[in-house]
Structure 1
């Protein structure tokens, strides 16, 4: 083997430092795939909680920094226990948005941050006992919950496509929908008719086209960029932290679900790039780090973290697992997060652009759930019952405001069970999976 071929091969090994000519483009590929998912949840929750422009900029800035640090922690574990030591990107996640929106709309950002700390503690406990707890979350349960998460995000996407909120002068107008549909069309085209960086960066490129279109339509406000600083460190506790037990329970359940999804992402990474399953220690370290970063992030005004399935997809395609590539991607996000002016520029993206781009993301989340449910090629009457009843009850309750707020119900029941379809669907899926007898075809599939 020649020296150059040995260098080339190093990108397919976890350790070692490949040449910059390989590290930079491969790392930027992960940045492009992740960046929209990093900044958009912060912008959505900022709007829900009524934050001003400076506070929204701060949340976007912190989201970039937390994603960078969480990814580095997965690559270089603390004490060999906090972190998976696997090639994954971890950061602020869409998966929490339905529940965060419900909590934020009712209680505000302070309660979200308090619930985030409790949820992070729950994730750490889950990570420590992951071997014992995993039995309660087979693909049928996890897939049902992820399917429900995707469904519950659709109204958010459509509201953003229409302009964000009824207070906006562009809400429901032709300009908002034109920009949203142009953005959506570009994303779909790049996803299905291109390859390489164009396909991997479909969301980013779609948002660029949408942003330029919005500029032409006069619906971009650049006034918040000027006052922002070029460099600043995140502030400790920029927002108050409050603990509302019902909100904390609601978000903690979602943390458990996302811990299970992290198991799936770690498994996909190692199977796709390393041709093996993760060890129990790798599972545990990855989930513990996820919980720890959520706790730390709350004190800086950040949102919950989870693994990024889109970046896992890149690993399964190109087999590049060298941690220097992922570390470079994390450093790019870190530098971006230390520049408030860049964060402020990102917050000028109109909500109709965000809606047009993220509709395909939310659809992908929904279809991921379906693939998990039908992954063994068997869809039985029992599966139909578990999925159908869980989703029906979870989504149905949230479609009828106040249905759990009548006489005899304490206030916390509405907060825990009536504000997020994900919580009810999760509990129902777990219970039904435990109670209903398995069909013969399912038992045979498990034995294979």
Structure 2
């Protein structure tokens, strides 16, 4: 007696396996959308900390592996507490870059990793006490913080477009030409195409920019030749150091990004499932984010957060099948164990990265503006946003010299990253200022 053939699952259902013809392209689409965000923070932080090519390759490997494992944890929660059980890609995030580069430039990679462990623990606590803490982070505060994150990333993008600060050819016409070609491709694909071309605009832009840079003799493959074919990261390869001020800065950033995770998970369920996420799902997602950050720090990985660009894909195509996201995670996981592939990613010139990521940073800024403008723009709200951004951006623009009369830890916490000072100011003002009276109907 024959068995009844199994009917392939729908891509719009959470469980089951869809046909390969749908599963593979939809899964790879998420890889394309995420991969630039996965590898670029590692490249930026490695450059800031002065790491060797081999160590940069290792950090990219860990970034790919950590993103894969963090995503799998969200898809398949452990102990009913670690992970959201929602269709989400989670991994290394641009949002931490301003604080990471500030800490790394002052203290080195070891202090970043120590602060990351502290921040991950704070994220776990945030997830556990979600209901009690959430009221301090309404959309007005969260939007202000995201807006400041975008603003603070612009100098990084421009420096990379010019070839990378400290590089011998910094500011050369070649760098700017490659950067603008990359940016032009991203701009055209984002605004005048559809489907995979639009969703992968940043990746395709970087591919074109990379080819142009290669033809101009700006790419070296020495690091690829020196890399092996397989390597598993080992724990504590990079030393871990703890600095109280750095830990405080990173703890604040983890709280901020936990709030952003709430927004991303909410967008995922509303866009793909036509419902709001439960408190249990939100709590599990944030706890999983914190746990993976702590584990990742032991291997040299950078902080994890949900990927808004992949959330955008879910809200557009409504595909929530867990197998699609599992395939994307497995592709990233396999790539993370191949040093030659990771080393190849380190050959991307700074100008290409800058030309591609400045549009990403602009999107982050506009996301913050959109959240802010969705609120009624009263005098109270404009005061919260205006003062928070003014203090945060103003102090860091002037530089540490404006805090020279304070202890060193004050400069580390408040003077190195505009995001930290803006976040604290926005929270404080939002609590102190009297609420606006309800609008008369």
- Tell me the TM-score normalised to structure 1 length: 0.96
Give the C-alpha shift of residue 169 in structure 1: 2.7
Aligned equivalents of 1:237, 1:221: Cα separation in 2:
29
Aligned equivalents of 1:351, 1:57: Cα separation in 2:
15
Give the C-alpha shift of residue 232 in structure 1: 1.0
Q: Which residue of the partner structure matches residue 432 of structure 2?
A: 435
Q: Secondary structure at the match of 2:400?
A: coil
Partners of 1:404 and 1:413 within 8 A in 2:
no
Give the C-alpha shift of residue 379 in structure 1: 1.5
Q: Which residue of the partner structure matches residue 228 of structure 1?
A: 227
Aligned equivalents of 1:5, 1:380: Cα separation in 2:
58
Q: Which residue of the partner structure matches residue 362 of structure 2?
A: 363
Q: Which residues in structure 2 correspond to 1:6-45 (within 5 Å)?
A: 7=8, 10-45=10-45
CA 1:417–1:174 in 2, change beyond 3 Å: closer, same or farther? same
Q: Secondary structure at the match of 2:374?
A: coil
2:419 equivalent to 1:419: no
Partners of 1:397 and 1:403 within 8 A in 2:
no
Cα shift readout 1:169-189 (whole Å, capped 9, x = no counterpart): 321000000000000000000
Q: Which residue of the partner structure matches residue 50 of structure 1?
A: 50
Q: Secondary structure at the match of 1:277?
A: coil
Give the C-alpha shift of residue 404 in structure 1: 4.8
Q: Which residue of the partner structure matches residue 117 of structure 2?
A: 117
Aligned equivalents of 2:56, 2:49: Cα separation in 1:
10
Q: Which residues in structure 2 correspond to 1:133-282 (within 5 Å)?
A: 133-166=133-166, 168-282=167-281
Q: Secondary structure at the match of 1:331?
A: helix
2:127 equivalent to 1:104: no
Give the C-alpha shift of residue 236 in structure 1: 1.1
Partners of 2:400 and 2:416 within 8 A in 1:
no
Q: Which residue of the partner structure matches residue 63 of structure 2?
A: 63
Q: Which residue of the partner structure matches residue 296 of structure 1?
A: 295
Aligned equivalents of 1:365, 1:200: Cα separation in 2:
16
Cα shift readout 1:392-443 (whole Å, capped 9, x = no counterpart): 0001111122345433x21110001110100000000001111112223xx3
Runs (5+) with no aligned partner, structure 1: none
Q: How many residues align?
A: 438
Q: Secondary structure at the match of 1:399?
A: helix
Partners of 1:297 and 1:303 within 8 A in 2:
yes
Q: Secondary structure at the match of 2:11?
A: helix
2:80 equivalent to 1:83: no
Give the C-alpha shift of residue 6 in structure 1: 6.5
Q: Secondary structure at the match of 2:305?
A: strand
Q: Secondary structure at the match of 1:91?
A: strand
Give the C-alpha shift of residue 444 in structure 1: 4.3
Q: Secondary structure at the match of 2:77?
A: coil
Aligned equivalents of 1:59, 1:283: Cα separation in 2:
29
Partners of 2:8 and 2:16 within 8 A in 1:
no
Aligned equivalents of 1:184, 1:154: Cα separation in 2:
14
Q: Secondary structure at the match of 2:210?
A: helix
RMSD in angstroms over aligned alpha carbons? 1.5
- Tell me the TM-score normalised to structure 2 length: 0.97
Cα shift readout 1:279-316 (whole Å, capped 9, x = no counterpart): 11100000000000000000000000000000000000
2:333 equivalent to 1:331: no
Partners of 2:89 and 2:307 within 8 A in 1:
yes
Aligned equivalents of 2:344, 2:227: Cα separation in 1:
9
